[in-house]
Amino acid sequence: MDVEMALQIEAAEREYLSLRVENLSQLNGNPYGARVFFNGNFPCFQVRAAPSPMYNRIYGDTADESQAVLSLLKQTAEYSTVTPFIGKPSVLGQYAHMAGSRLERLKGWTHLQFACDIQSTILSRHSFEIEEITSQTLPQFAGIHAGGFHTEPEQRLLSQASFAGFTSSERVKIYVLKVDGEVLAGALMFLANNGIAYLGTAATRKDARGFGYHGALISHRIEQARKHGSRVIAATALASSQSRRNLQRAGLMVSHAQALFRLADN
């Protein structure tokens, strides 16, 4: 495992997720109780209205400043906050210890992180219509995303709101794929400050899977990342997923595994 590259990928993902929470915090009256704060140079965030580990995370230097991370986990335990551990897939066990406390790995939240030098990527040809999202197509993208990630009905407006601030962003690009004018798939790309183009969330409508839409969106985002001057492409996927296979076809290789842990005794 290339530790330096792994840390850069983690930084890019952290930046992207904190911006989604920041979008929620900037809504008039902050109706979802979203908050972004810092542990040294590491952004952390929580969303009172969303119990998902996606929106409630504590970051920090778990090797040299583990007590600071542990203290924040305890202070925010009511939000079921988590912290990521990274390493080779074989070394991330069910439990971990930090500053004398035991943490437990969340089921279903262990992912592989992928990366590739942008010049080594492999693009696939396609003829699909892909365009940047607009305020008109945002609800369609959000609906497909919610279906693909099994978002609970009461959380769907919150999820859509976390993307809404990106419709005019220079650092976050959301693309939708249309067939005969109908949005069938969508995907996001985040241009991190460290030169990594992070291929964030992607989803295809359930009845439209198996036609190569996800692979086309990967290639399109890589092409756009090249235009923006990114030096590395990175992405996340479950080990057994079709997304993993599509990413590997595009030249991305496994960098490391990331698992989310929370306090075991809370």
60-86 pLDDT, tens digit per residue, is 998 888 999 999 999 999 999 999 999
pLDDT interval class at 173 (50, 70, 90): very high
pLDDT interval class at 144 (50, 70, 90): very high
Q: Can you tell me the distance from the alpha carbon of 241 to that of 221, in angstroms, rounded to the nearest whole number?
A: 19
Q: What is the pLDDT of residues 103-119, one digit of tens each?
A: 999 999 999 999 999 99
133 & 234 share domain: yes
- Cα 187 from chain centroid? 11
121 & 245 share domain: yes
Q: What is the pLDDT of residues 212-224, one digit of tens each?
A: 999 999 999 999 9
When divided into structural domains, the chain yields a total of 2
Q: Which domain holds residue 95?
A: 3-109+257-263
121 & 243 share domain: yes
Residue 262 has pLDDT above 80, yes or no: yes
Q: Can you tell me the distance from the alpha carbon of 150 to that of 129, in angstroms, rounded to the nearest whole number?
A: 26
The pTM of the full predicted model, rounded to 2 decimals, is: 0.94
55 & 169 share domain: no
Q: What is the DSSP letter of 57?
A: B
Mean pLDDT over each residue of the chain, to the nearest integer: 94
Question: What is the rounded average pLDDT of the residues 131-151?
Answer: 94
57 & 160 share domain: no
Which H or E run contains 143?
helix 138-148
Q: Would you state the pLDDT for residue 266?
A: 56
91 & 176 share domain: no
Q: What is the pLDDT of residues 187-213, one digit of tens each?
A: 999 999 999 999 999 999 999 999 999
CATH of the domain at 221: 3.40.630.30
Q: How much is the CA Rg of the chain, to the nearest whole Å?
A: 18
Q: What is the pLDDT of residues 13-55, one digit of tens each?
A: 999 999 999 999 999 999 999 999 999 999 999 999 999 999 9
224 & 159 share domain: yes
127 & 216 share domain: yes
Q: Can you tell me the distance from the alpha carbon of 264 to that of 103, in angstroms, rounded to the nearest whole number?
A: 5
Q: Would you state the pLDDT for residue 22?
A: 96
99 & 169 share domain: no
142 & 20 share domain: no
Q: Can you tell me the distance from the alpha carbon of 24 to that of 21, in angstroms, rounded to the nearest whole number?
A: 5
246 & 142 share domain: yes
Task: Enumerate residues 6+ apart whose C-beta is below 8 A from 171.
Answer: 19, 190, 191, 192
Q: Would you state the pLDDT for residue 45?
A: 98
137 & 232 share domain: yes
Q: Is 193 exposed, middle or buried (0-12, 13-18, 19+ CB in 10 A)?
A: exposed
Instruction: Read off the amino acid at residue 178.
Output: K
